[in-house]
């Protein structure tokens, strides 16, 4: 900024203070860059939304591991992948494989419905409560102990993550999506449901590989991949190919409509 270089050091300092003050005033007005009202408890739980600094932060646990003193002191959270097997063809081309529901969260991350386990609750009780709050889940869909897919421990956050997968019928997925719009948390904690595209398009990147590049909360991406593998929805080879895929940049693009219009004009003349 040229005009700043023309100011004396004192004037530049005053201007910096003024800009900083204005920034704080704007934040106070919009709430940006703060954790807001303590009633929402955002500050107390925001650490769970921070990315891990280690690739080995999440350790998969067995049922017997949960009796270890190391893990007994940690917090617990439960989340669920709601899915229906689906052999339909997308665009009459790509096999859908399954309808899998995830959600866009209030913090901009993609994740699964669920949340922290409250004192006195079991992981399953907490999950079914959260499903009611976040997507207004019909009580006829109850997650059961047999729906457990995996359990992880986060060393950095000292939290145990229980992950379940609830299978429903294909028609039920649509009903659940509709009902989610009427949930208590819709528009606040939950900004909408998202289906996972489980196919790969012609460039080898769009579809599932592209979806995997989005920002996921905690280890939600690992949970998704683990469920796809354990439920035999996708093979390990298919998943590895998606993880290693890279976008192909365009070199020269000729819109199809331009070509067709030229042909039509030529035919007319």
Could you read off the pLDDT of 29-81 as tens digits, one per residue?
Answer: 888 988 887 677 788 888 888 887 777 899 999 999 988 888 877 899 999 99
Residue whose pair of structure tokens reads 């003193």 in the numeric block: 69
Q: How far apart are CA 65 and CA 259, in angstroms?
A: 63
Q: Pick out the chain residues at pLDDT < 70.
A: 1-28, 38, 258-269
With residues binned 3-state (H G I as helix, E B as strand, rest as coil), the percentages for the chain, rounded to 5, are 40, 25, 35
The pLDDT, as a whole number, for residue 264 is: 43
Which helix (H) or strand (E) covers residue 152, if one does? strand 148-154
Q: What percent of the chain shows pLDDT beyond 90?
A: 65
The pLDDT, as a whole number, for residue 102 is: 98
Q: How far apart are CA 101 and CA 267, in angstroms?
A: 49
Distances in Å between the Cα of 191 and the Cα atoms of 60, 111, 177 are 29, 11, 12
The pLDDT, as a whole number, for residue 255 is: 79
The CATH number of domain 72-244 is 3.90.79.10: yes
* 73-97 confidence digits (pLDDT tens): 789 999 999 999 999 999 999 999 9
Write the DSSP assignment of 83-138 as a string of letters.
Answer: EEEEEEEETTTEEEEEEEEEEEETTS-EE-SEEEPPTT--HHHHHHHHHHHHH---
Q: What is the pTM of this model?
A: 0.83
What residue segments make up the domains of the chain, in order of their start?
Answer: 72-244
């Amino acid at each position: 900024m040229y005009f700043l270089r023309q100011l004396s050091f004192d004037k530049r300092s005053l201007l910096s203070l003024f800009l900083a003050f204005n920034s704080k005033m704007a934040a106070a007005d919009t709430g940006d860059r703060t954790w807001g009202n303590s009633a929402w408890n955002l500050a107390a739980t925001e650490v769970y939304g921070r990315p891990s600094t280690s690739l080995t932060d999440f350790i998969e646990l067995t049922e017997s591991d949960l009796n270890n003193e190391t893990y007994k002191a940690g917090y617990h959270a439960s989340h669920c992948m709601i899915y229906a097997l689906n052999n339909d063809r997308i665009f009459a081309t790509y096999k859908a494989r399954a309808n899998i529901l995830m959600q866009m969260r209030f913090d901009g991350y993609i994740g699964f419905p669920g949340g922290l386990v409250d004192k006195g609750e079991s992981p399953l009780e907490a999950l079914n409560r959260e499903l009611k709050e976040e997507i207004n889940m019909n009580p006829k869909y109850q997650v059961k102990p047999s729906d457990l897919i995996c359990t992880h421990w986060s060393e950095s956050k000292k939290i145990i993550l229980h992950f379940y997968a609830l299978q429903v019928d294909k028609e039920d997925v649509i009903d659940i999506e509709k009902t989610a719009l009427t949930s208590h948390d819709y528009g606040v904690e939950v900004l909408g449901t998202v289906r996972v595209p489980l196919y790969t398009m012609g460039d080898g990147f769009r579809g599932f590989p592209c979806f995997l590049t989005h920002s996921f909360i905690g280890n939600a991406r690992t949970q998704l991949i683990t469920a796809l593998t354990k439920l035999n929805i996708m093979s390990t080879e298919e998943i590895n190919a998606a993880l290693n895929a890279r976008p192909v940049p365009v070199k020269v693009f000729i819109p199809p409509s331009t070509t067709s219009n030229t042909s039509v004009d030529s035919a007319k003349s």
